[in-house]
Amino acid sequence: MRKSTVFAILGGMWMMAGCGPSREKVVNQIETMEKNLFAPDAVSFNKQKADSLLSLYDTFVKKYPKDSLAPAFLFKAANIEMNSGDGPGALKHFDQYLQDYSDKSKAALCLFFKAFIYENIMQDLDKARETYLLFIEKYPTDDFTKDAKMAIKNLGKSPDMLIREFEAQNKTDSILRADSMANIKKSKKHS
């Protein structure tokens, strides 16, 4: 009976030791793939390498959802997809981050990026507006709140329209400054 207890304990330790290297192995694979994909000498984006890395991120997050690296890998996956123009994939990963790790530091940024994706990749301006407004409501003091407000103001405007508005605003500001300076000079003369 005592031998069987020792074997059970040793078997459990062996099984636990078997889990450790598998996590470390996946982390090492991820680190290697990240170095290859984001190497300074990389000339262009390699979709096949990116897809392999995304698969590893997903594997890790599914296998180790409570691990401290899981939210970071999920965020990285969403960013790779967003930057490669895969709006649905990025939204899926940002949604998962917001659902599973809403208390983590990058949650606000995930919500902001969702709005950005709706606006710039998916061209769904209604959904973009809705998501920017949600971001402003949930994170009124965030660094990106001003950006979200500006994005709402400029939704659907072409670059030409934005340039014309900027130039018109500059002209108006110049006129106001000139009038203000004239009034200052006038009041100094009468003093």
Same-domain pairing of 122 and 171:
no
Structural domain boundaries enclosing 151: 22-39+46-156
87 in a domain, yes or no?
A: yes
d(C-alpha 8, C-alpha 39), whole Å: 47
Same-domain pairing of 74 and 161:
no
DSSP track, 109-140: HHHHHHHHHHHHTS--HHHHHHHHHHHHHH-T
Same-domain pairing of 57 and 97:
yes
Amino acid at 106: K
Across 163-174, average pLDDT: 71
Please write the tens of the pLDDT for every residue from 16-71: 444 445 899 999 999 999 998 888 887 788 899 999 999 999 999 999 999 999 99
Same-domain pairing of 73 and 83:
yes
Same-domain pairing of 57 and 94:
yes
Question: What sign does the dihedral 86-116-64-24 (CA atoms) show?
Answer: positive
Same-domain pairing of 189 and 148:
no
d(C-alpha 108, C-alpha 46), whole Å: 29
Across 69-96, average pLDDT: 97
162 in a domain, yes or no?
A: yes
Residue whose tokens read 């649905």: 88
pLDDT of res. 3: 52
The pTM of the full predicted model, rounded to 2 decimals, is 0.74
Same-domain pairing of 144 and 169:
no
Give me the CATH number covering residue 27: 1.25.40.10
